C-alpha cells in the first residue's frame, strides 16, 4: 500500500489493482514535483499440489477369501501453499475390495486453479493356499433343430458356480444362436483364469423320415364290401424326436 502525507498528488508506474505477470515487477511512485519511491511486486508461478507422503510403497496383503480382500491404505494427504487444501481422490478408494492379483491405485490432488498432481501405487492381493478356487458346472453339449425359415434361435442353458461369485458366459443363456452352426459357449469366473466350454449345435430343420418306408398292401376281401385293414407305419426325426404319424384313411 502506498501512503503519502499531506494528501499530495502522486502517480505510480503500475496502478493499484493492475494485473501483474508472474515474476518480479518494480513499481515506481512519484509525488508531483517531489520525491519518488520504488518497491517490488512478486507474483509466484502457480504450483500444483504436493502429496504427503510424496510416494506410497506398493502394498502386499494376503487374501481373506478365495476372491480377494478389503485393503486400507496408509493416510494420504495433499497440500497447496497458494490456493489452500486441494481436492484428493483415490481410485479405487481406501477400504475397497481388491481381487486376487495386482491392482493399480491412482490418486489425484486438484487445487482451485485446476492444477493437479497424480500419484500411483499398486495393491497386490496374494491368495491364501487354504482357499479353494471356485468352479463352474457346465451343461452337456446341446443339440437342437432349428426353426423353419429362421436363421437364429434362442437357446437357454444352466451354469452353476460352486460359490457365490460373479461369472459370465459368451454367448449368454437366452441369447441368439445361429442355425446350421456349432457355437462354443465359454464361461469364466470374474478374476479367475479358468475357462469352461460346451458346444451348442443347431441343425437345419429336416422333415421326418418313415422307417421303414411304407409299402403297398394286398389283402383278400373278408366281407361283401371289402376288408378291414390295419397298419402301423412309423417315422423318425433325428433332431426333434419321434414325430406324430397320421394316416388317411386311418388304420382299422
Q: What is the pLDDT of residues 139-195, one digit of tens each?
A: 999 998 888 888 999 999 999 999 888 999 999 999 999 999 999 999 999 878 899
Compute the average pLDDT of residues 13-18: 82
> Exposure of 200 by Cβ count < 10 A (0-12 exposed, 13-18 middle, 19+ buried)?
buried
pLDDT in tens, 75-102: 999 988 777 889 999 999 999 999 889 9
Compute the average pLDDT of residues 54-63: 92
Q: State if pTM tops 0.75.
A: no
> Exposure of 52 by Cβ count < 10 A (0-12 exposed, 13-18 middle, 19+ buried)?
exposed
pLDDT in tens, 144-157: 888 888 899 999 99
Q: Is 30 a residue whose pLDDT tops 90?
A: no
Interacting residues of 121 by C-beta distance below 8 A, sequence separation 6+: 55, 56, 57, 58, 59, 104, 105
* Predicted local distance difference test score (pLDDT) of residue 33: 72
Cell of 47: 504450483
Whether 129 and 63 have beta carbons less than 8 Å apart is answered as no
* Predicted local distance difference test score (pLDDT) of residue 126: 92
* Predicted local distance difference test score (pLDDT) of residue 4: 47
Instruction: Please give the C-alpha separations between residue 219 and each of 215, 226, 231, in angstroms, as whole numbers.
Output: 13, 9, 12
Amino acid at each position: 500500500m502506498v501512503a503519502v502525507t499531506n494528501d499530495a498528488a502522486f502517480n505510480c508506474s503500475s496502478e493499484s489493482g493492475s494485473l501483474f505477470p508472474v515474476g518480479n515487477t518494480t513499481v515506481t511512485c512519484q509525488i508531483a514535483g517531489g520525491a519518488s519511491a520504488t518497491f517490488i511486486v512478486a507474483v509466484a508461478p502457480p504450483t500444483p499440489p504436493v502429496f504427503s507422503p510424496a510416494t506410497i510403497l506398493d502394498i502386499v496383503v494376503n487374501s481373506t477369501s478365495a476372491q480377494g480382500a478389503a485393503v486400507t491404505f496408509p493416510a494420504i494427504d495433499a497440500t497447496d501453499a497458494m490456493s489452500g487444501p486441494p481436492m484428493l481422490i483415490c481410485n479405487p478408494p481406501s477400504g475397497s475390495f481388491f481381487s486376487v492379483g495386482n491392482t493399480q491405485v491412482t490418486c489425484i490432488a486438484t487445487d482451485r486453479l485446476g492444477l493437479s498432481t497424480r500419484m500411483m501405487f499398486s495393491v497386490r492381493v496374494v491368495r491364501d493356499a487354504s482357499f479353494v478356487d471356485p468352479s463352474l458346472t457346465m451343461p452337456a453339449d446341446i443339440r437342437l433343430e432349428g426353426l423353419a425359415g429362421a436363421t437364429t434361435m434362442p437357446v437357454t442353458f444352466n451354469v452353476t458356480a460352486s460359490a457365490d461369485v460373479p461369472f459370465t458366459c459368451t454367448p449368454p443363456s437366452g441369447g441368439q444362436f445361429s442355425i446350421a452352426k456349432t457355437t462354443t459357449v465359454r464361461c469364466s469366473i470374474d478374476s479367475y483364469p479358468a475357462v469352461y466350454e460346451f458346444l451348442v449345435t443347431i441343425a437345419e430343420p429336416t422333415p421326418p423320415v418313415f422307417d421303414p418306408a411304407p409299402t403297398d398292401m394286398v389283402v383278400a376281401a373278408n366281407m361283401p364290401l371289402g376288408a378291414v385293414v390295419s397298419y402301423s407305419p412309423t417315422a423318425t426325426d433325428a433332431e426333434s424326436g419321434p414325430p406324430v404319424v397320421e394316416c388317411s384313411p386311418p388304420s382299422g
